[in-house]
Amino acid sequence: MHPKSSEASVNAEQEQLIREHLPLVSWGVGEIASRVPRFVPRDDLESAAMYGLYQAARTYDSSRGVPFAAFARQRIRGALLDELRSRDWAGRTVRSHVKHVRTAVDELRVSLGREPTQSEIAERAHIAPEELHRANSDGHRASLLFYDSVYLAATESEALAVHDADPNDQVLKAEQLGYLRDAIVALPERLRRVVIGYFFEERPMLELAEELGVTDSRISQMRAEALELLRDGLNAQLDPALVTVEDNPGGRAARRRAAYYAAVASGSDFRARLAADAKSVTERVAEEAATAS
């Protein structure tokens, strides 16, 4: 049993639920293991998944009419994501570089009255352009992993209420998922097809490559492009200071990104983002396609 289980004991019925559903631990670890860096110990993931199963048994209420397996899968996913988010993905030196760059960006925004270019940031931070690129990549690594892994918990048919959830956290998570839906729907069509195919339909990259007429390596690139765009689309609404700064603020790429951020912002209102019966991404895309035809 996970060490945290000492905080409260389980009764015989709960213990039986845990024993009968132990395969869910392997399922949860297997689902997420291929999406995280290899240096993440599998034992830690298994421990987190086991804790999620334990919490599910402790808090399960059969009167709600939800099968225990579905409830437990949600808690296991949540425990695994909590484990990933709690990790220090960058070393002390990397964090120092990222903080140094962000300080330079903030100072330039104040002095210039606009978003600085990458060359201006490099000059202000007294680092070479390639070092700046490295710092940006390191700073984005953890958030990319977060937005990658968040899909594992975003299966809306399994978004079940839990007894011990903090109401403020529930509202925040609901808003984040609402913006995530808006951001996916607002993606350029081909990137959106990759995201839906890979994350929602769990289709192989080779199959998506054949459908779109590209190589499987190109599908991998498109997936990375989509994740980066989603990350910035969400940050534009939730934490604008983390949005990627374009080299040419007035260029075509910057205008496209600005249009994308605007589309995410107007995708739904606050009430719709928090609605329990909000339409799923696939439903909204299907409606959009029907309207266009």
Q: What pLDDT, in 10s, does the model give residues 121-166?
A: 888 888 888 887 776 665 555 444 444 444 444 443 343 344 444 5
Read off the tokens for 131. 């070092």
**The predicted structure's pLDDT at residue 165:** 47
What topology does CATH give the domain 92-141? Arc Repressor Mutant, subunit A (1.10.10)
**Token code pair at residue 97:** 């570089």
Q: Which CATH class is domain 154-293?
A: mainly alpha
Over the range 19-40, which residues count as b (16 or more CB within 10 Å of their CB) and which as e? eebeebbebbbebbeeebeeeb
CA angle, corner 76, sides to 158 and 7, nearest 5? 125
Report yes or no: 212 and 193 within 8 Å, Cβ to Cβ: yes
pLDDT tens column, 196-211:
888 777 788 889 999 9
Average pLDDT, the chain: 77
Contact 166, 53 (CB under 8 A): no
Note the pTM of the prediction, 2 decimals.
Answer: 0.50
- Round to whole Å and give the CA distance between 83 and 44: 8
Q: Is the dihedral of CA 198, 203, 208, 211 positive or negative?
A: negative
DSSP annotation string for 128-146: -HHHHHHHHHHHHHHHHHH
Long-range contacts of the stretch 84-88 (C-beta < 8 A, 24+): 84/32, 84/36, 84/40, 84/145, 84/146, 84/149, 85/146, 87/40
Query: What is the third-level CATH fold of 1-87?
Result: Rna Polymerase Sigma Factor; Chain: A (1.10.1740)
Count of C-beta atoms within a 10 Å radius of residue 193: 19
**Predicted confidence (pLDDT) per residue in 54-71, tens digit:** 989 988 888 877 889 888
Which pLDDT score is estimated for 22? 93
Domain assignments of the chain as residue spans, ordered by start: 1-87, 92-141, 154-293
**Are the C-beta atoms of 28 and 80 separated by less than 8 Å?**
yes
Contacts of 82 (CB under 8 A, 6+ apart): 48
d(CA 83, CA 142): 13
Whether 219 shows a pLDDT value over 60: the answer reads: yes
Alpha-carbon span 100 to 67, nearest angstrom: 50
Report pLDDT for 54.
92
Query: How far is residue 29's CA from residue 31's CA, in Å, rounded to a whole number?
Result: 5
- Which pLDDT belongs to residue 96? 66
Angle between helices 129-149 and 118-125 (to 10 degrees): 110
